[in-house]
Amino acid sequence: MDQDDLPRARQDAADQLSKEDLDSYSQEELLERVALLEAEIARVKAQHARAADHRKAADALFGSPPQSGQAG
């Protein structure tokens, strides 16, 4: 998979989830699906926090990159 295809692939996955017919799911299956999605959200948020911490550490060590629109 080409690097340029990644955002599109992610969007396709989100589209697929949002278009899935949920009528055939029982109440229990819907709750299981919610739990799985919440677990995935927690996983993504944890990765985001790790990435933010890594960025803070790099900025502390090497200095912050110049902000766009500011003279460096």
Q: Say what the pTM is.
A: 0.68
Residue 17, pLDDT > 60, answer yes
Residue identified by tokens 């790790």 is 50
Asked if residue 34 is part of any domain, the answer here is yes
Rounded Cα gap, residues 18 and 52, in angstroms = 28
pLDDT digits (tens, 9 = 90+) for 49-69: 999 999 999 999 998 877 776
pLDDT recorded at residue 69: 63
Asked if residue 40 is part of any domain, the answer here is yes
Asked if residue 42 is part of any domain, the answer here is yes
How many independent structural domains does the chain possess? 1
Asked if residue 16 is part of any domain, the answer here is no
Q: What percent of the chain has pLDDT over 90?
A: 65
Asked if residue 49 is part of any domain, the answer here is yes
Total number of residues shown for the chain: 72
Mean pLDDT of the chain: 88
Asked if residue 70 is part of any domain, the answer here is no
3-state secondary structure of 50: helix
Are 72 and 66 contacting, i.e. CB atoms less than 8 angstroms apart? yes
3-state secondary structure of 1: coil
